[in-house]
Amino acid sequence: MKTWMKWMKCVIAVVVVAVVALVAAPFVYINFIKADAPARFALGDASEVGAAPAATPGSAGSMRGTVTVDPEPAHVVDGRVDGAWVVAAGSAVGYRVVEVLFGQDTEGIGRTEHVTGELTLSGTQVTAGSFVVDMTTVVSDEGARDNQFNGRLLDTESFPTATLIVTSPIELSSVPEDGGTVTAAASGDLTLRGVTNPVTLDVEARRNGDAIQVVGHTDIQFAEYEIPQPDAPGISTQDHGLLEFHLQLHRA
């Protein structure tokens, strides 16, 4: 009987230790090891676009990347902004999703600066716009997360790009003065993983001398783009995530 009781106490002790370890390990990782997630994009932080913890060994690289378009800026003539504006250096696109690691919340974030495109302004309207993102270059601070992203989730080998096409004119309240900002709702068609859906994006823009800076976001429901639920053993996520962007635009 005493032997049996000792054995039970040992089993209970082992279970308690295991449970404590399952709770403590994620807490320690999230609060003391994992680098803080970069803040959401905001106007004025162009110098910090893409700034984030370096990727872990084995991942696709850092979260910074290299923009493929870097035109020489042209001057704004007589305060007018009419014409075509192209994506320039300092632009970035990324995702943000809430992860639950053994019952504790954290954020998974990936970004790339490999974005190209342009929009056309006429008076107080954005009359056209199209953008392409190289999804194969999106990286986070976790190689395992990037492998999931490129593999079963976004299948970037089969669908290497994502696109956004503005489908109706974006109405601006006014043409902003230098340093002024405007907000608007933009309607477009977003293509992810080969699936296209209409989206509405909350957009804020600022005119900075010879450049226009735009930040925005929209919520993405994974099922609408046939993206599998991005869960893994011990890790679960919400069924949606935030698509966010920060664009630096110069005249074409």
pLDDT at 22 over 60: no
Q: Lowest-confidence range among 62-66, 91-95, 108-112, 122-126? A: 62-66
Determine the Cα–Cα distance for residues 1 and 130; give it in Å rounded to an integer.
76
Phi, psi (rounded to 5 degrees) for 186: -110, 135
Yes or no: say if 110 and 138 are a contact pair by the CB < 8 Å rule. Answer: yes
DSSP secondary structure of 197-233: EEEEEEEEEEEETTEEEEEEEEEEEGGGGTPPP--BT
Higher pLDDT, residue 123 or 159: 159
Average pLDDT over residues 162-189: 91
Determine the Cα–Cα distance for residues 155 and 163; give it in Å rounded to an integer.
15
pLDDT, tens digit (0-9, with 9 covering 90-100), for 82-103 = 999 999 999 999 999 988 766 6
In which residue are the tokens 């609408």 written? 224
pLDDT at residue 196, as a whole number: 98
What global pTM score does this model have? 0.74
Mean pLDDT of the chain: 78
Q: How many CA atoms lie within 13 A of 60 on its CB side?
A: 22
Yes or no: say if 216 and 177 are a contact pair by the CB < 8 Å rule. Answer: no
Could you list the beta-strand ranges (E) of 72-142.
Answer: 83-87, 92-101, 104-112, 115-122, 125-134
pLDDT, tens digit (0-9, with 9 covering 90-100), for 39-74 = 889 987 544 444 333 333 333 333 433 333 333 333
Determine the Cα–Cα distance for residues 165 and 168; give it in Å rounded to an integer.
9
* Residues linked to residue 112 through DSSP beta bridges, in sequence order: 93
